[in-house]
């Protein structure tokens, strides 16, 4: 089953144009050029119109630090934070060196997180400079169920301990966005 999910993941990435912007084994995001799914207003004054080009973030599942059998612990959280910081610095460098700040004004995407109160994922993302919004999927709760099931299958495939005691129906999708200006100021 895991082999099938890996194949679906690879095939979906290729079809969707998801690409690796660096070759560091600690980088935890891949990217995709995409159109903003709706208007986005960020606290730094950046306004993204629906249909405007954005850089969409995708987790690089193979690079997420593996959890121990008991789930996330302090060592895992510190490792993940370090990888996020490294990835954001590499992303800022990639944007600056490619002069992509002239092409795109925001980076973000949809992530599956546990419900509020069950960890610091949301707080960590906010401390890193992301703004967290409720998910606004095109197919409502029905579509979110299938997206979460697929995310759960990816987690089960690449990091099995991460889904222990966490059924797919407990995942909640959320959107995270950061302006390119904020990315370059904080990590460039």
Per-residue pLDDT, 6? 92
Residue 145 has pLDDT above 90, yes or no: no
Q: Residue 58: beta bridge partners?
A: 30
Domain tally, the chain? 1
Helix, strand, coil distribution of the chain in percent, nearest 5? 45, 20, 30
Mean pLDDT (the chain, rounded): 89
Nearest of 114, 120, 130, 119 to residue 29 by alpha carbon: 130
pTM for this model (two decimals): 0.89
Residue 118 has pLDDT above 70, yes or no: no
Task: Provide mean pLDDT across the span 119-132.
Answer: 85
Angle at 63 between CA 129 and CA 24, to 5 degrees: 80
The most confident of the ranges 9-18, 138-147, 163-172 is 9-18
The runs of H, that is alpha helices, within the chain are 2-16, 74-97, 121-127, 140-158, 180-187
- Is residue 160 a contact partner of residue 71, using CB atoms and an 8 Å limit? no
Task: Provide mean pLDDT across the span 95-102.
Answer: 90
Sheet harboring 29-35: ordered strands across? 29-35, 53-59, 106-113, 172-179, 131-134
Residue 136 maps to which CATH number? Answer: 3.40.630
Per-residue pLDDT, 117? 45
For residue 123, the enclosing domain spans 2-187
The rounded percent of the chain whose pLDDT value lies above 90 is 59
């Amino acid at each position: 089953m895991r082999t099938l999910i890996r194949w679906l993941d690879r095939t979906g990435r290729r079809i969707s144009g998801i690409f690796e912007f660096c070759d560091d084994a600690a980088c935890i995001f891949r990217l995709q050029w995409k159109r903003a799914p709706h208007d986005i207003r960020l606290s730094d004054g950046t306004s993204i119109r629906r249909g405007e080009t954005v850089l969409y973030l995708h987790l690089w599942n193979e690079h997420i630090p593996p959890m121990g059998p008991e789930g996330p612990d302090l060592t895992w959280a510190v490792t993940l934070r370090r990888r996020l910081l490294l990835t954001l610095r590499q992303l800022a460098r990639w944007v600056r060196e490619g002069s992509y700040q002239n092409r795109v004004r925001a980076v973000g995407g949809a992530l599956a997180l546990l419900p509020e109160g069950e960890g610091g994922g949301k707080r960590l993302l906010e401390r890193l400079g992301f703004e967290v919004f409720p998910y606004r999927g095109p197919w409502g709760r029905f579509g979110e169920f299938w997206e979460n099931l697929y995310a759960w299958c990816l987690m089960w495939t690449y990091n099995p301990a991460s889904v222990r005691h966490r059924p797919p129906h407990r995942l909640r999708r959320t959107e995270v966005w950061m302006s390119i200006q904020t990315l370059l100021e904080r990590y460039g």
